[in-house]
Structure 1
């Protein structure tokens, strides 16, 4: 559905060129919700605006629904954009127009008659839950209601793609939840492909199928959301995950020095992530039985990612060097996320 290949975006700066995007390539499948997460200034807003060519890439190609937008004339590009809706952080509603008229505005611009506009707008008002607000003005609406108007307006031209530029960042947590549920519902009902950018991992966790992590204009990691939670490969991804799931080591390890290799009379400390059916299996009991080791659970947490159970354990594995390595091999051979924190001597722990 969407294919960005080798996207480079460079702006002129007072002290030389500013490289906002540095060879970004992503592919978004039809009907999925794809998230792009990054810190402020990482390049995520520039990236999403390249999809509808509000920002023209310096280098690279943009293909949406089989059309290469990056090589189109301005006239053809205007037509292509009609199939790409967009909603914004600050709503961008026209204050002098009612809810109905805000939604109708893009249809008026392309010359639809009043009856055709009405037939399109009324179902959208119902879809976003604002039928009773049709004659009100933006100043009379809450933030969540304004964003619902923005969503309905973006859907008015019946797009195949919906771009969400920090669509929930200006909203409180409860309203954010309701807007995300609405986007998920629209995705399912209309088969709409959604691309959203955010700096909030909770948004990614709640509704995205896949995600790309962007840093300094480069995609540093991407894949299914559940895979990134189970096996984050970069420090930045781990930092984002820590905002909603506790990945910190327990206080018993405060000031503890870990060795990457076994020491004399040392114990192995491992973080194990469980996903889906693995969260229900007796992994620890099996580990003890098969590998002749003792296992202590030092920390545990269970959560859900879109109804898929996800848990983490920090365990201490005790045994001889061969047995500990066997235990590590046993864990890594299963559908688990395994992170070796290191080896410590028993007398190095605060619980000793």
Structure 2
């Protein structure tokens, strides 16, 4: 559906040349929700604005639905942009127009008659849950309602692609959740391709199928959300995931932890469970099979795209032979086992 090849964007700043995007290439499939995450200044907003050529790339190609956007004339580009809706962090509504008139505005610009505009817009207001707000002005709406108007307006021209630039950043957590649920519903009902820019990993976790991680104008990682969450390859992705998955080793444990085995020491491991493995009685199996004690330090279970995902930090205490055998047993199971370190037996990590 969308292919970016060798995308580069260079600005002339006050202190010299600034490279906002550097050789970015990725492919986005029809009908998926694709997330692009990065810290402030990483280049993610520049990237999304290059897709509809609100920013013209310095180099590279942007192919949308088989059409090379970078090769179009200004007139052709205006026409092509009709297939791409866009919503923004700060809504950008017209304060002097009602909800109905705000949503109708793109159709008015396109020369659609008043009657036809209303026929197209009323179903959109129903879709975003604002049918009863058609004659209300933006000043009378909550932040979430304003963003729903923005979404309806972006859908007015029946686009194939919806670009979301930090669409939930100005909203409180509960409202963010409702807007993300709406976007997911729209994606399912309209088979719309959604590209979502954010700096919040919980947004990616909530609705995206795949994600690209951008840092300093470079794509540092791309993959299915589940794969990136459960096995992040880049430091940037790892940092983002820490904000929503608590894998941190407690400070009290870190203070007594050694990376090398200690005589008579206990082994500290982290287990990561996926899918059906979350239902397996791993701890009970360890205790039955080996002469060891198991102390659970911390643990949690969450869901990624309806797939159970859990982590468990625990301490194995026993003689060296039994502890090693228990570790090999864990490593042979359908889960990820990570050796965190060793702690002197008298220290007891769990305490």
TM-score (norm 2): 0.92
Shift in Å at residue 176 of structure 1? Answer: 1.0
Instruction: Name the structure 1 match of 2:313.
Output: 314
Shift in Å at residue 349 of structure 1? Answer: 4.2
Number of corresponding residues:
351
Shift in Å at residue 238 of structure 1? Answer: 2.6
Instruction: Name the structure 2 match of 1:240.
Output: 240
Alpha-carbon distance between aligned partners in 1 of 2:290 and 2:237, rounded to the nearest angstrom:
32
Instruction: Name the structure 2 match of 1:42.
Output: 42
Instruction: Name the structure 2 match of 1:231.
Output: 231
Q: Which segments of 5 or more consecutive residues in structure 1 lack a partner in the other structure?
A: none
Shift in Å at residue 351 of structure 1? Answer: 5.4
Cα–Cα, structure 1 residues 350 and 296, in superposed 2: closer, same or farther, change >3 Å?
A: closer
Please tell me whether the aligned partners of residues 164 and 196 of structure 1 are also in contact (alpha carbons under 8 angstroms): yes
Alpha-carbon distance between aligned partners in 2 of 1:289 and 1:233, rounded to the nearest angstrom:
35
- 1:47-92 deviation per Cα after TM superposition (whole angstroms, max 9, x unaligned): 1111111112222221111212122222222111111110000001
SS state at 2:13 partner: coil
Alpha-carbon distance between aligned partners in 1 of 2:322 and 2:28, rounded to the nearest angstrom:
44
Please tell me whether the aligned partners of residues 315 and 349 of structure 2 are also in contact (alpha carbons under 8 angstroms): no
- 1:193-216 deviation per Cα after TM superposition (whole angstroms, max 9, x unaligned): 111011111211111111112111
Instruction: Name the structure 2 match of 1:274.
Output: 273
Q: Does 1:53 align with 2:42?
A: no
- Report which stretch shifted further, 114-123 or 340-349: 340-349
Q: Which segments of 5 or more consecutive residues in structure 2 lack a partner in the other structure?
A: none
Instruction: Name the structure 1 match of 2:163.
Output: 163
Q: Does 1:124 align with 2:124?
A: yes
Instruction: Name the structure 2 match of 1:187.
Output: 187
Shift in Å at residue 25 of structure 1? Answer: 1.9
Instruction: Give every structure 1 segment of 4 or more consecutive aligned residues whose post-TM-superposition deviation is greater than 6 Å.
Output: none
Please tell me whether the aligned partners of residues 297 and 315 of structure 1 are also in contact (alpha carbons under 8 angstroms): yes
Please tell me whether the aligned partners of residues 317 and 345 of structure 2 are also in contact (alpha carbons under 8 angstroms): no
Alpha-carbon distance between aligned partners in 2 of 1:213 and 1:39, rounded to the nearest angstrom:
9
Alpha-carbon distance between aligned partners in 2 of 1:344 and 1:21, rounded to the nearest angstrom:
45
Q: Does 1:15 align with 2:12?
A: no
TM-score (norm 1): 0.92
Instruction: Name the structure 2 match of 1:72.
Output: 72
Alpha-carbon distance between aligned partners in 2 of 1:48 and 1:291, rounded to the nearest angstrom:
54
Instruction: Name the structure 2 match of 1:198.
Output: 198
Alpha-carbon distance between aligned partners in 1 of 2:76 and 2:337, rounded to the nearest angstrom:
50
Alpha-carbon distance between aligned partners in 2 of 1:11 and 1:327, rounded to the nearest angstrom:
57
- Report which stretch shifted further, 166-175 or 222-231: 222-231
Alpha-carbon distance between aligned partners in 2 of 1:348 and 1:21, rounded to the nearest angstrom:
50
Q: Does 1:344 align with 2:343?
A: yes
Alpha-carbon distance between aligned partners in 2 of 1:151 and 1:9, rounded to the nearest angstrom:
28
Shift in Å at residue 291 of structure 1? Answer: 7.1
Aligned CA-pair RMSD: 2.2
